[in-house]
Amino acid sequence: MKIYTNDDVSPDSLKGERIAIIGYGSQGRAHAQNLKESGADVIVGVRAGGAGHTKATADGLATAEIKDAVKDATIIALLTPDMSHADIYKNDIEPYAPKGAALLFAHGFSVLYGRVTAREDLDVILVAPKGPGDLVRREYQRGRGVPSLFAVDRDVTGQAARKALGYARGIGGTVGGVIETSFREETETDLFGEQAVLCGGTSELILMGFETLTNAGYRPEIAYFEVLHELKLIVDLLYEGGLEKMHSFVSETCKYGDLVSGPRIINEETRERMEEVLNDIQSGDFARDWILENMAGRPRYNALMRQDLEHPIETVGRDLRSRMSWLNQKGNG
């Protein structure tokens, strides 16, 4: 498997390119700042007077309305939330993008599920850092980088891969290492990871652990520490050195409990449920459900989110975290 680094991508890959960053949220802000500091010609497309415009201006970046930002751009990075892509592309990008420009995404959802069908003269590429925007920015500032994926869905100009890899280098990705993928692979694995493990699986595991302990009569503060607070310690070990490092830093008792009890919690039934989640993603059922949910005003989403945020673990957690002054120190995390 080829992993692209700075040795594979010229620092001049973006020479002569004008990059329009559309949106100034988590990824947009990080990409724009990193690209500018890498020497790229960057303009941010945002609504005049909006929060993104205010932040981008304060950060010293050139800004314009989206349609004006894309007019002279050779790379147009659409970094707003997925559900906004269809309207923004139709109204503010498609009529104004120059012929032969590259339309770039940080996630393949809109292309894979037909939310955006790019004009036939446009390259369609993807650069997806494997981390949130804040981390992309912090690692760049430290001279490091977040590993990234890149993909080419359409290469009209013959320059699509060069532009994608140049962009990846500009945001720091080639320091962490860049791997080629496809829009389908990136989207389906990303959605699965979020739902089954990183967010959905982890949050439900935490809540069930908390409820099991408190239902058995243990104090909620103790339960919080055991099933949520200490999770970061374990995740950090896994992140830094996989299962081997995690096992080397926990006690023998912990390791034995891991080996004999872990498979009782996460078992073949769990795998079957995971396969169901993956099937929903691969078939497009999840995407259709999420699109319809947005069209309906997100009633189910809002109810489920409210239920999550009103869980007792949140009340206990807010109180305990308020006593942990180091959590609010700038640059922590």
Annotated binding site for Mg(2+): 190, 194, 226, 230
For residues 310 and 178, give the distance between their C-alpha atoms in angstroms, rounded to a whole number.
Answer: 40
Non-local CB neighbours of 168 within 8 Å, separated by 6+ positions: 4, 9, 127, 148, 150, 174, 178
In sign, the C-alpha dihedral spanning 240, 246, 251, 252 is negative
For residues 22 and 67, give the distance between their C-alpha atoms in angstroms, rounded to a whole number.
Answer: 10
CA–centroid distance for 324 within its chain:
27
Active-site residue, from 107, 229, 247, 311: 107
Annotated binding-site members for substrate: 251
Annotated binding-site members for NADP(+): 24-27, 47, 133
Non-local CB neighbours of 49 within 8 Å, separated by 6+ positions: none
Non-local CB neighbours of 128 within 8 Å, separated by 6+ positions: 105, 106, 107, 108, 148, 149, 150, 151, 181, 186, 190
For 27, counting Cβ atoms within 10 Å of its Cβ (0-12 exposed, 13-18 middle, 19+ buried), the class is buried
Annotated binding-site members: 24-27, 47, 133, 190, 194, 226, 230, 251
Residue 211 tokens read as 């409820």
Q: Is 107 a catalytic residue?
A: yes
- Catalytic sites, residue numbers: 107
